[in-house]
Every structure is written in C-alpha cells, then in structure tokens.
Amino acid sequence: MTLLIAKWIWALGVIGWFVIRYPHQRRSRRTPKQRRAGGWREIVLMTISSTGLGVLPLIYVLSEQPRFANYPFSAWQGWLGAGVFAASLWMFRRTHKDLGRNWSVTLEVRQQHALVTGGVYSRVRHPMYSAFWLWALAQALLLPNWIAGPAGLVGFGTLFLLRVAREEQMMTETFGEEYRAYMARTWRVFPGIY
Ligand code: SAH
C-alpha cells in the first residue's frame, strides 16, 4: 500500500458514496413532505460537514496542501482505512435500502412517513450516521495529514452533535410513544458503545 493508492481508495470511496446516494436523491425530490427542513441552521451544518469530508481532503489529495501538516504514511493505516471505508459503504447502502422513501438529506418528515425499526435499524437508531462516522474515520486513516485527515471527523462530528437531538425530538413529535419505545431499546450509533 502506497500513499498514491491510499488517495485513490479515498477518491473511489467518495465516488461510491455518491453512486449509492444518487437514485435516492432523485426519488427524494418527488416524495411529498409533511414537515420541511429547519432552514439556515441545517444548510450551515451540511456545509461544515461537506467541507470536512469533501473539500479539505480533495485539496490535500490533489496538491498535498497544507504541507506543514503532512506526516509519513504507513501501509497499515492505509489497509485499515480501506477496510473501514468498505464497511462504511456497505452500511450506507443498507441504510438507504431500509429507509427507502423516508430518507431526507436534512430534517424532514414525509407525507406518508413510516417509522423504520427493522434491518440495520433494529439495534441502532442512526445507522446512516454510523456509516458517516466510519467514512470520516477511514479518511483520517487514509490521508496522512493532520488537517485533511481528521477534517471529516470534525466536520461530520459538528453536524452530528448539533443535529441528532433535534432529529430525535422531531421523530418523537411525529411518532410519539412508538419512537420513545424504539429509543429505549436501541443504541444511537454503535451498538454496545453509544
Ligand atoms: N438518523 C438516521 C436517518 C438519517 S436521514 C440514520 O442515521 O440512519 C434523516 C431523516 O431520516 C430524518 O429527516 C427523518 O425524517 C428520517 N428518519 C430518521 N430515523 C428514522 C426512522 N427510524 N424511520 C424512518 N425515518 C427516519
């Protein structure tokens, strides 16, 4: 495993991510909404997240900038990063399949929204965010730069921390006792940990 291969794995992972999401993105535009997104706040959070997971690592991959933050690459971190990225793509695909039409890129409720509690949603209530955490971790492992590597953890972490409680509140307002009971029997992101 060389640095060049690690960069390619990162790039292919991101492309894979978009390929998985694309059909869901298209369908989501046509699925009517009952409750719309929370405006500016969500737009700012999604910008921060995509800067950390997309813009900064892309600049590094193309130009090795910011150079002062580079450190020597080791093959083990590349292999580990590749494995974690593969796991995140698998999980991302599963969550999109399980959520189906109920998915939104932001906080919204569809007109005929169904609460999904099966498949990868049976033990964890935010498995798509688990997939994003894994992606961010894979980036930190694949890119040996102290800024571009961890940028995904910081960027997605900001979105996650400022969104997840509001999402659970929105789901509780929509599904009431059903969602409370679901929360009581599931983990948030990683079973057994959090
Ligand atoms: N937080 C979830 C979903 C992310 S997509 C995850 O990480 O897997 C965000 C949208 O999914 C929210 O706007 C909400 O409408 C919807 N959603 C979240 N949890 C859901 C569930 N268990 N069943 C159905 N829809 C859900």
Which of these, 132, 137, 136, 191, lies nearest to 163 by C-alpha position?
A: 132
- Please write the tens of the pLDDT for every residue from 143-184: 999 999 999 999 999 999 999 999 999 999 999 999 999 999
Percent of the chain clearing pLDDT 90 (strictly above)? 93
Residues with CB under 6 A from ligand 1: 95, 99, 102-104, 107-109, 115-116, 121, 125-129, 167, 171
- Please write the tens of the pLDDT for every residue from 52-65: 999 999 999 999 99
pTM for the whole thing?
0.96
Do residues 52 and 156 touch, judged by C-beta distance below 8 A? yes
C-alpha 126 to ligand 1 mean position (Å) = 7
Return d(Cα 19, Cα 54) in angstroms, integer.
Answer: 15
Do residues 52 and 136 touch, judged by C-beta distance below 8 A? yes
